[in-house]
């Protein structure tokens, strides 16, 4: 194992701020190009997480441990890890000041500080996360709790919130909702009505009169594989069968519903996620089929964990508060946290009014300081903030920063690519790939349909690509593969 280097050097040819997806990818690329010791990475955290895996951890489909690596094992060869945090940027002197008091200077800098989770912007949220029923896939501290809460859910409202701020992977709160729905169905708490409908359909096809089935299912000898409540009874009955007629279905049925133990799954989102028609339709269909109560233009402002009550403010068309609020009782509350640019960036000369790094959207070069480039979630580019987008950012800055180092003008243009594998159940994914103009699908297949192969990509292929390709600076996004598939499609 490589040991981390604590700096004595106070100057680097290239200083990378942040050792997440973008920072490690950028440092890896340039550590291969520049002489040993030229690249420094400032990163305070000891553990590095593959965050796209958090959705699956929350759904009990992966362990948190499988998504964690020690940061020191990921620092590229020849680069220096500075285990500290930038507190102050002084770009006019090409200098950063660290929390520990050190000052580091640079010739060139890549800022890859990500986005800051701001649970503190919701009154009571930080305390509520420590209480039963409240969780968030966005934090490694509360992601495993999501699965535990879904498994312990005994009925009531399961509420999933979306903030009124930028957020990384805007699909993740929805994914948490869909995955919870799958878990509750598997546990037999949701979907009994559809089981009954299937029962009726079979009865109709077989011309069987099933009046009274609901009551009969509670009596000895009557069972159904269509319901999680009565399927095990089938096996018990078969084992105890002592002779007589074994019918497919009982002979009487009365109109009515079984009592649902879980009454409502509600998703609060500011706006519909993807502006791209095919993804939007697919997502709406999923929510409809799952009977999810989708409520838009509401923003979570307070959590009262004593009374298990979440308060939402209503938003107008411009996402401004209307001055009206609504309280929703919850049994399970998954918080999609408000986010902002990281503190040190917000107050720096690199930031625009929103606090995010002000870059040229095409070259990813700082608008004010041409020796500085941005990568990842901390920039003000209009792409969806995802690790997939980072792959295209890295491709762009690899060329443009190299040119800047050679005294040339940047020529590579970021294509706006981002992707969000929308997990819609415990084994189906809509593999959304897009930029602000439309879909940018890599494969020759229709990716707007939820499929098992896309789930396998999400579960197995993408983590591998992240650990072995993206953060090692080898993966520049799927543009080349996409061009090949386009040729196949057009034939
Ligand atoms: P990060 O990887 O977050 O790294 C930023 C780093 O900067 C951190 O390590 C931090 O410690 C460091 N830092 C912060 N402040 C300072 C400072 N002052 N000084 C020094 N260092 C600092 N993406 C996808 O492509 N597909 C998905 O399916 C997907 N799902 C997701 C699901 C969830 C629940 C979450 C949370 C994220 C998901 N993402 C997904 C998003 C993806 O993880 C991020 O977009 C990606 O990690 C962004 O990379 P980054 O380098 O910009 O930020």
Write the pLDDT tens digit of every residue in 140-190.
999 999 999 999 998 888 999 999 999 999 999 989 999 999 998 888 777
> Is any ligand 1 atom within 6 A of the Cβ of residue 380?
no
Beta-carbon contacts of residue 177 (< 8 Å; ≥ 6 apart) = 158, 160, 265, 267, 292, 334
Q: How far from 213 is each of 198, 206, 221, 231, CA to CA, in Å?
A: 13, 15, 12, 14
Q: Is the CB of 83 under 6 A from ligand 1?
A: no
pLDDT at 234 over 80: no
- pLDDT above 70: residue 275: no
pLDDT band at 243 (very low <50, low <70, confident <90, very high): low
Q: How confident is the model at residue 433 (pLDDT cuts 50, 70, 90)?
A: very high
Of 14, 22, 18, 7, which Cα lies nearest the Cα of 470? 22
Q: Give the model confidence (pLDDT) of 32-83 as tens digits.
A: 999 999 999 999 999 999 999 999 999 999 999 999 999 999 999 999 999 9
Average pLDDT, the chain: 87
Most confident range (mean pLDDT) of 33-37, 265-269, 479-483 is 33-37
Pocket test for ligand 1, best of 7, 17, 18, 475 (most atoms within 8 A of CB): 18
Lowest mean pLDDT among 116-125, 283-292, 398-407, 428-437: 283-292
Report whether pLDDT(278) > 70: yes
pLDDT at 196: 60
- Work out the average pLDDT over 186-209: 66
Distance CA 36, CA 77 (A): 8
* pLDDT score at 167: 94
Q: What confidence score (pLDDT) does residue 227 get?
A: 64
Which atom of ligand 1 lies nearest, measured to the CA of 23? 51
What is the 485 CA–ligand 1 centroid distance (Å)?
Answer: 29
Distance separating alpha carbons of residues 315 and 297, to the nearest angstrom:
5
Q: Which residues of 158-170 are buried (b: 16+ CB within 10 A; e: fewer)?
A: bbbbbbbbbbbbb
| 99-113, 254-268, 329-343, 436-450: range with lowest mean pLDDT | 254-268
| Long-range contact pairs involving 36-39 (C-beta distance under 8 Å, separation at least 24) | 36/78, 37/9, 37/78, 37/80, 38/12, 38/13, 38/14, 38/78, 39/12, 39/13, 39/14, 39/15, 39/76, 39/78, 39/79, 39/80
To 5 degrees, how large is the angle CA 419–CA 420–CA 425? 150
pLDDT in tens, 347-374: 999 999 999 999 999 999 999 999 999 9
Ligand 1 centroid distance, CA of 273 (Å): 20
Of all atoms in ligand 1, which is nearest to the CA of residue 58? 34
**Mutation probe of ligand 1 site: the residue of 16, 45, 51 with most atoms within 8 A of C-beta:** 51
Q: Is 381 in the pocket of ligand 1 (CB under 6 A)?
A: no
What is the atom index within ligand 1 of the atom nearest the CA of 375? 52
Residue 224: per-residue pLDDT: 64
Which pLDDT band holds residue 202 (cuts at 50, 70, 90)?
low
Q: What average pLDDT does range 407-433 have in this prediction?
A: 95
**pLDDT-derived band at 242, boundaries 50, 70, 90:** low
Confidence of residue 127 (pLDDT cuts 50, 70, 90): very high
Residue nearest to atom 15 of ligand 1 (CA): 113
Please tell me the distance from the alpha carbon of residue 12 to that of residue 4, in angstroms, as a whole number: 16
pLDDT at 296: 83
Tell me, in angstroms, the distance from the centre of ligand 1 to residue 198's CA. Answer: 44
Residue ranges and CATH numbers for the domains of the chain are 11-115+341-490 (3.50.50.60), 119-189+255-339 (3.50.50.100), 192-239 (no CATH)
Query: pLDDT tens, 210-221?
Result: 566 666 677 776
Best-predicted range by mean pLDDT (7-16, 82-91, 230-239)? 82-91
Residue nearest to atom 46 of ligand 1 (CA): 387
Q: Residue 137: CB within 6 Å of ligand 1?
A: yes
Decide if 169 is catalytic.
Answer: yes
Query: What spacing in Å lies between the alpha carbon of 447 and ligand 1's midpoint?
Result: 25
Q: Which of 282-286, 363-367, 457-461 has the lowest mean pLDDT?
A: 282-286
Q: How confident is the model at residue 406 (pLDDT cuts 50, 70, 90)?
A: very high
How many A from CA of 144 to the centre of ligand 1? 18
Point out the least confidently predicted range of 45-59, 165-179, 223-237, 243-257. 243-257
Evaluate: CB of 376 within 6 angstroms of ligand 1: yes
Distance between Cα 164 and ligand 1 center (Å): 19
The protein residue whose alpha carbon is closest to atom 43 in ligand 1 is 51
pLDDT of 259 strictly over 50 = no
How much is the average pLDDT of 412-424?
94
pLDDT > 70? residue 31: yes
SS (H, E, C) the chain: CCCCCCCCCCEEEEEEECCCHHHHHHHHHHHHHCCCCCEEEECCCCEEECHHHHHHHHCCCCCCHHHEEEHHHCCCCCEEEECCCEEEEEHHHCEEEECCCCEEEEEEEEECCCCEECHHHCECHHHHCCCCCEECCCCCCCHHHHHHHHHHCCCCEEEEECCCCCCCCCCHHHHHHHHHHHHHHHCCCCCHHHHHHHHHHHHHHCCCCCECHHHHCCCCCCCCCCCCCCHHHHHHHHHHCCCCCCCCCCCECCCCCCCCCCCEEEEEECCCCCCCHHHHHHHHHHHHHCCCEEEECEEEEEEECCCCEEEEEEECCCCCEEEEEEEEECCEEECCCCEECCHHHHCCCCECCCCCECECCCCCEECCCCCEEECHHHECCCCCCCHHHHHHHHHHHHHHHHHHHCCCCCCCCCCCCEEEEEECCCCCEEEEEEECCEECCCCCCCCCCCEHHHHHHHHHHHHHHHHHHHCCCCCCCCHHHHHHHHHHHHC
Q: Is 338 in the pocket of ligand 1 (CB under 6 A)?
A: no
């Amino acid at each position: 194992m490589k040991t981390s280097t604590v700096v004595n050097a106070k100057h680097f040819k290239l200083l990378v701020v942040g050792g997440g997806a973008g920072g490690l990818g950028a440092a890896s690329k340039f550590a291969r190009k520049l002489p040993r010791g030229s690249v420094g990475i400032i990163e305070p955290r000891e553990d590095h997480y593959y965050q796209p895996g958090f959705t699956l951890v929350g759904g009990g489909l992966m362990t948190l441990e499988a998504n964690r690596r020690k940061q020191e094992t990921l620092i590229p060869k020849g680069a220096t890890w500075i285990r500290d945090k930038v507190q102050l940027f002084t770009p006019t002197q090409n200098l950063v000041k660290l929390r520990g008091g050190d000052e580091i200077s640079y010739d060139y800098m890549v800022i890859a500080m990500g986005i800051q989770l701001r649970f503190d912007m919701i009154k009571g949220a930080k305390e509520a996360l420590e209480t039963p029923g409240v969780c968030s896939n966005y934090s490694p501290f509360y992601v495993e709790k999501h699965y535990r809460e879904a498994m312990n859910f005994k009925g009531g409202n399961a509420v999933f919130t979306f903030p009124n701020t930028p957020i990384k992977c805007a699909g993740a709160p929805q994914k948490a909702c869909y995955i919870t729905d799958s878990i509750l169905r598997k546990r037999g708490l949701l979907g009994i009505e559809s089981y009954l409908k299937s029962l009726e359909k079979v009865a109709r096809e077989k011309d069987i009169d099933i009046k009274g089935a609901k009551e009969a299912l509670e009596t000895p000898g009557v069972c159904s594989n269509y319901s999680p409540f009565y399927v095990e009874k089938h096996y018990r009955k078969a084992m105890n069968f002592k002779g007589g007629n074994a019918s497919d279905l009982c002979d009487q049925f009365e109109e009515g519903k079984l009592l649902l133990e879980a009454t409502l799954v509600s998703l609060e989102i500011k706006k519909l996620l993807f502006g791209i028609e095919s993804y939007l339709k697919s997502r709406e269909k999923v929510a409809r089929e799952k009977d999810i109560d989708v409520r838009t233009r509401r923003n979570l402002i307070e959590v009262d964990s004593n009374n298990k009550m979440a308060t939402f403010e209503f938003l107008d068309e411009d996402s401004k508060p209307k001055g009206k609020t609504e309280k929703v009782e919850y049994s399970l509350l998954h918080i999609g946290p408000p986010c902002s640019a990281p503190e040190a960036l917000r107050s720096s000369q690199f930031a625009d009014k929103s606090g995010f790094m002000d870059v040229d959207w095409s070259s990813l070069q700082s608008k004010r300081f041409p020796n500085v480039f941005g990568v990842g979630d901390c920039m003000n580019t209009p792409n969806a903030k995802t690790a997939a987008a980072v792959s295209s950012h890295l491709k762009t800055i690899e060329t443009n920063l190299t040119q800047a180092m050679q005294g040339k003008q940047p020529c590579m243009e970021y294509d706006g690519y981002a992707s969000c594998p929308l997990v819609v159940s415990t084994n189906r994914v809509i593999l959304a790939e897009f930029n602000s103009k439309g879909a940018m699908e890599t494969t020759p297949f229709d990716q707007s349909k939820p499929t098992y192969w896309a789930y396998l990509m999400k579960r197995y292929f993408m983590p591998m690509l992240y650990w072995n390709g993206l953060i090692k600076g080898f993966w520049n996004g799927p543009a080349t593969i996409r061009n090949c598939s386009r040729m196949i499609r057009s034939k």
